[in-house]
Chain A
Amino acid sequence: MRPSQRILTLSAIASLVFLGLVILSGWGMAGSYVPSLTDAFPSTLYMEKYSSGGHLLRSIHYYSSSSLVFSGFVFLCCFYISGFAAKYSKSWILGVVLYLLIIGSAFTGYVLPMDQNAYWGTKVRLGIMDTVPLVGTTIADFLRGGATFNSSTLPRFFTLHGSVFATAICLCLFLLSQSSKSVFIKYLSDQRFNITLLVSIVLFFVLINSFSARLELPADPADIEYNPRPEWYFLWLFQFGKYVEWAPWIQSGVLPILGFGFLFSVPWLKNHVQKRRSAIVVSWCLAWLLLTGLAVIDDKDLTHNPNYSDGMAFDAEKNFNRLCIDCHGSGGLGDGSETQAFDLQTPNFTVSDFWNNTDEQQMIIAIKDGKGNDMPDFGESLTYEQILALIYHIEKSFKPNYQE
């Protein structure tokens, strides 16, 4: 076998495995995810932090889909370089449609966690879609269920992501596999291949479990400072958009027409284009690398968007300085200005005595409902998650001999 064909087979198998992982982990998550503006984030957070297997599921889904975008791209490139696009035009068209559906799923899945990145990123994407000449606004309104983000938006994206696109992908895959059945059967009946695949999947799980799928603070439509970032495979488009800001229809109209036009007409292009196949793929990859690289360089100066835990820790520090410091003091000694002025019974966080007699549950109740005559209740102004983060902050900052 020629090397490009070897890569072709390998990337096809990898894509299938990643697709299987994405679909199965998606089913797992759909078991506890709620697509509504108020519940989407809490249900995602629950999966990530408090459920027993949700963290792994999210990681599998997140990294498998990224890998799928990559392996699918490699497959299409090799298929094209090998000259199969003209020979098997039906498979090529199906493959391109399949890839677009995968990109579509990635697009619609992005908003579902409803964290800052999801909310702002999707707003930007729908904004780009709005600029598609003639039909853009209609399509964007159709997807959103209105001209702004509203209570139907998440259910619609969830349906497209988990049901419409997923079904269409399976259908395409079924049609595509009809022509190459014998190849799959040959591989699947090979014992050595099966064992290698199984071991790789297990290794993938182990590796992926130590990484987390991105989750930031809950979406805040009033946050002026937030800079949304796209996934790595959309960075080039994001960067390209910056250069044609003066005419957004180039990004949303001309570029897709040229791109899709080329992809769908490849099997019927004249010979001289067919002969320069490698050159076309290499130049596209270089353009991709260049734009992505420029985007990364541009991003270096931007403020880093914190993930959920870092964001909550920062939030807790702010809350402590805003709500607690007047009595508890900046050093947690219980010597704040109010305590001194009114002679309050404020505990000292820096002695082990306090921590020996207090557990987390008592602290949660004290913050939520207040304690004694002096400690006010903050149940109205702080959420449960914020209270937990605040306790963590107090422990980390003041508890003697604190260990993570």
Chain B
Amino acid sequence: MGMIVSFISAPTIHFWWTDKSGPAKIDDPWIDAGKVKDLPKDQWGNKMLLFQRQDRWASFEREELIYIYRSAQDITVFSAVCPHAACLIRKNDEGFGCPCHKSSFSNDGIVLSGPSPRSLDRLNTKVQNGRLYVKYEKFRPGTDTKEVVG
């Protein structure tokens, strides 16, 4: 009986098991975040990235929040997604804080307190023709390694 049931359900379980949305396969992962000189200098700012992503058959408008710091030498960009449980972090006086489980991070993204298993996720950036481009990626929450999942 058990054998028969498992054989009958095997194709379904196989399909659900293997059909997963992974990191988006796209030609150009760099998303335009505007002119570099429009970014506030030597202070934190935030920006909503708007872009299109494909997920299986569907194409979605996505809006993702990032935090940006521009100094004379380089630009730091953090994803606003908390590495603990994927809530959105907020800027505060000492750095960043997550409202869901009270993780707090320094301005360098390092965990100061709370349950977050890793530092804030820093995103890759490049500057081209005076514009900032961000490679927006989602990482698996709740683990101490940065695994790209979307």
Contacts and interface: CB of A to CB of B under 8 A. Distances in A.
Contacts of B63: 221-222
Main secondary structure of the interface of B (DSSP, over half): loop
Contacts of A137: 140, 142-143
A367 B58 CA distance: 30
16 contacts: A127-B86, A127-B141, A130-B141, A130-B142, A145-B19, A146-B20, A146-B22, A147-B138, A148-B21, A150-B56, A151-B21, A151-B57, A151-B60, A152-B19, A245-B101, A245-B102
Given A123-B85, A224-B90, 12 more contacts: A37-B58, A124-B85, A127-B142, A146-B21, A147-B21, A147-B138, A150-B55, A150-B56, A222-B65, A222-B88, A224-B80, A246-B115
B10 interface: no
B76 to A, nearest CB: 20
B85 A141 contact: no
Interface in B1-50: 16-17, 19-22, 48
Interface string B56-100: 111010011100000000000000100001101010000000011
Nearest to A38: B58
A148 B149 contact: yes
A156 B90 contact: no
Interface of A: 36-38, 123-124, 127, 130-131, 137, 141-142, 145-148, 150-152, 156, 221-222, 224, 227, 245-246, 248
Given A145-B20, A148-B21, A224 B88 contact: yes
Contact of B58 (A151, A156, A224): A151
Contacts of B17: 142
Nearest to A221: B63
B138 A148 contact: yes
Closest 4 pairs (CB-CB, A-B): A147-B149, A146-B21, A150-B21, A127-B85
B141 A141 contact: no
Interface string B127-150: 000000000001011110001011
A147 B16 CA distance: 13
Give the most central of B64, B65, B141: most A CB within 10 Å.
Answer: B141
A156 B56 CA distance: 14
A70 B145 CA distance: 42
A319 B7 CA distance: 56
Contacts of A131: 142
A256 B102 CA distance: 25
A130 to B, nearest CB: 5
Contacts of A245: 101-102, 115
Contacts of A123: 85-86
Contacts of B85: 123-124, 127, 130
Nearest to B58: A151
A227 B88 CA distance: 11
A131 B149 CA distance: 17
A146 B150 contact: yes
A113 to B, nearest CB: 19
Contacts of A148: 21, 86, 138, 149-150
Nearest to B20: A146
A152 B143 CA distance: 23
A37 B142 contact: no
A222 to B, nearest CB: 5
Contacts of B150: 146-148, 150
Nearest to B89: A224
Nearest to B100: A124
B20 A141 contact: yes
Given A147-B149, A221-B63, A222-B63, A152 B88 contact: no
Given A146-B20, A224-B88, A152 B142 contact: no
A270 to B, nearest CB: 31
Contacts of B55: 150-151
A276 B63 CA distance: 56
B16 A142 contact: yes
A145 B21 contact: yes
